[in-house]
Amino acid sequence: MLSHVLKPFGFVLLSLQLLMGSVNAGYIFSSTVEQNGTKVDFKKTPQNPAGTGSASKIGLYSFGADADQFDYIRAKIRVWVQLPPEAIGDKAPYIVIAKSGTLDLDLALTVGDAVRLDLRVSYDMFPISNGVVEKQTEFETVTFQQSLAIAAIMAKDPDRKVEAWLASDDFKAITVPASFDTLQIVNGRPTIVTKVLTSTLTLEAVPEPSTIALFLTTPWMAHKWKRRRKHPANSKPSIE
């Protein structure tokens, strides 16, 4: 009797452990790198006759050798940035994931070497300041198309590295510095302290399809197995 109760329970535990084990193995991908600081102003084009906007390279992130084999569902970023007060709402700059070594982001977006995400870094996001501040976004949904594009961009690099850029269609006065200097006045004389800045990009991936199938089918299989054992036709004749 006890074995009949314990066996399905054991299966459920085993499948849960399998699932948990694979989550711990890397369904949250996170990479912290030193900020790059390179900035390019968007050129004048027929679509952008005024030549407004700019893009700043945040950094080159690494998520492991098999990072191109996952489906990404959400993304968030931590970045040091100085934004103009007008950079809010749909004017807040957005994150672009691009192929490692991208020089021309406009071109990269056109040829599929970069993908624009719905992840935005806004001026009114805490902490609000007219200075260089560390901002941390919430997780933002990555669409299936964006996920495919990220995986494809990762696959183009032998180390599966990707760049993240902070792009704006409206503003040039955006700074994503590699470092900042703080001027301190000591005994009336100026002294400089330099701080190197880092950024973290986090991608959340769905569990692999095989794991989901295992998790969903295990209780059903346990139930079926229990029924088979209980069925008189399958049970061994008892000796009386």
Partner 1 sequence: MNFIRTIKSGLTLTCLLISAIHSSAQADVITDFGQQVSNVEKTASSRAIYLGRLFNNVDPGPFRRMESMYAIVTIAQATNVALFIGDASSGFEAARAANKVFDSGLRVTNATQDRTEVVFVPGDPNVSPPQDIPIPAGLGIHDSLALNRRLDFWLVGESNSGFTVPSTLGGDPAIFFIEFNRTTSVPEPSSIALLAIPAVGSLIRMRRKKKLLANKETISEQAA
Binding site for partner 1 (CB under 8 A): 36-39, 41, 51, 54, 80, 82, 84, 127, 129-134, 171-175, 177-185, 188, 190, 192, 195
Query: Closest distance between partner 1 and the C-beta of residue 182, in Å?
Result: 5
Taking the complex as a whole, how short is the minimal distance between the CB of residue 175 and partner 1, in angstroms?
4
Closer residue to partner 1, CB minimum distance, 26 or 84: 84
| Nearest to partner 1 of 195, 229 (CB atom) | 195
Least Å from the CB of residue 36 to partner 1: 7
Other C-beta atoms closer than 10 Å to the C-beta of 179 total 13
Helix (H, G, I), strand (E, B) or coil at 225: helix
Give the span between the Cα atoms of 224 and 218, in whole angstroms: 10
Q: Residue-wise over 126-141: b if at least 16 C-beta within 10 A, else e? A: eeeeeebbebebeeee
With respect to partner 1, which residue has the nearer C-beta, 148 or 178? 178
Q: Of the two residues 101 and 131, which places its CB atom closer to partner 1 in the complex? A: 131
Comparing CA positions, the residue from 117, 110, 112 lying closest to residue 58 is 117
Q: Which is nearer to partner 1, 15 or 36 (CB)?
A: 36
Query: Which residue type does 225 have?
Result: W
Q: Which is nearer to partner 1, 115 or 166 (CB)?
A: 166
Between the alpha carbon of residue 199 and those of residues 75, 202, 203, the distances in Å are 14, 10, 13
Q: Could you tell me the smallest distance in angstroms from the CB atom of residue 51 to partner 1?
A: 8
* Pick 188 or 209: Cβ nearer partner 1: 188
**Are 39 and 55 spatial neighbours (Cβ–Cβ below 8 Å)?**
yes
Q: Residue 43 and residue 55: Cα distance in Å, rounded?
A: 11
With residue 108 as reference, give the H or E element that holds it: helix 105-111
Q: Tokens at residue 95, please?
A: 């994150």
CB of 139 to partner 1, least distance (A): 24
Kindly state the smallest distance separating residue 123's Cβ from partner 1, in Å.
12
| Residues with Cβ within 8 Å of residue 38, at least 6 apart in sequence | 56, 57
* Max intra-chain CA distance, the chain: 104
Compute the least distance from the CB of residue 35 to partner 1, in Å.
9
